Amino acid sequence: MEKASVTLTIKFLLLQYLFAFSIAQDFDFFYFVQQWPGSYCDTKKSCCYPTTGKPAADFGIHGLWPNYKDGTYPSNCDPNNSYDESKISDLISRMQQDWATLACPSNSGSTFWSHEWDKHGTCSESNLDQHAYFKAALSLKSKFDLLQILQSAGINPDGGSYSLSDIKSAISNAIGYAPWIECNSDADGSKQLYQIYLCVDTSGSNLIACPTFPHGKCAPTIQFPSF
């Protein structure tokens, strides 16, 4: 009887551990998404520069998004752990530079960052607290300079048209993994380079081969507008 009780206790503890582990690992990878500001601003919707001024002509962070291998994703995972800027005060100057908002009306960026944490960041909080989450995205941005990679391959934000396959090849040759390219349309309806997706492991530190790509299509040749 005593032996059976011990066995049941062990099984119960094991189930608790497995349940806790499943929660802690409740996503498979991150999409690290960077956005070209020129392609955000030249649409019919246009844009507003943040209160800190016009951002640099460089890819800016859009987000670090937990995803599942089947293409779905978790969102708004913890309403009790809302964005708290005091927790990332040492990162704000870097975020204003590398994670700038272009939404209207003009603002400091806090609304954008709050949205990213509340919708996406809270779904990785078992791995990354709020400070670690934003720091991870900033570190990835520093480690993989997409503009420099493209310019080194002769692909420049000069309003010219470039082969989509050349853009993908330039990035994959530099980082070792295939990116996913998202296009949008400018005010005249021309397809252009909008966002670049890289896949990252659940630690938020290392690039991996993308288990799946988002849906959407680009034209075979797309524009790379100036900013």
CA distances from 210 to 29, 53, 177, 216 (A): 8, 35, 8, 16
Please state, in angstroms and rounded to a whole number, the distance separating the CA atoms of residues 34 and 133: 15
Contact in structure between 183 and 194 (CB atoms under 8 Å)? yes
The catalytic residue among 2, 85, 115, 116 is 116
Contact in structure between 225 and 38 (CB atoms under 8 Å)? yes
Please state, in angstroms and rounded to a whole number, the distance separating the CA atoms of residues 214 and 160: 26
Please state, in angstroms and rounded to a whole number, the distance separating the CA atoms of residues 182 and 195: 5
DSSP tag of 127: T
The catalytic residue among 2, 62, 85, 182 is 62
Is the Cα torsion angle 131, 67, 102, 206 positive or negative in sign?
A: positive
The catalytic residue among 2, 85, 115, 120 is 120
Query: Is residue 116 flagged as an active site residue?
Result: yes
Residues tagged active-site = 62, 116, 120
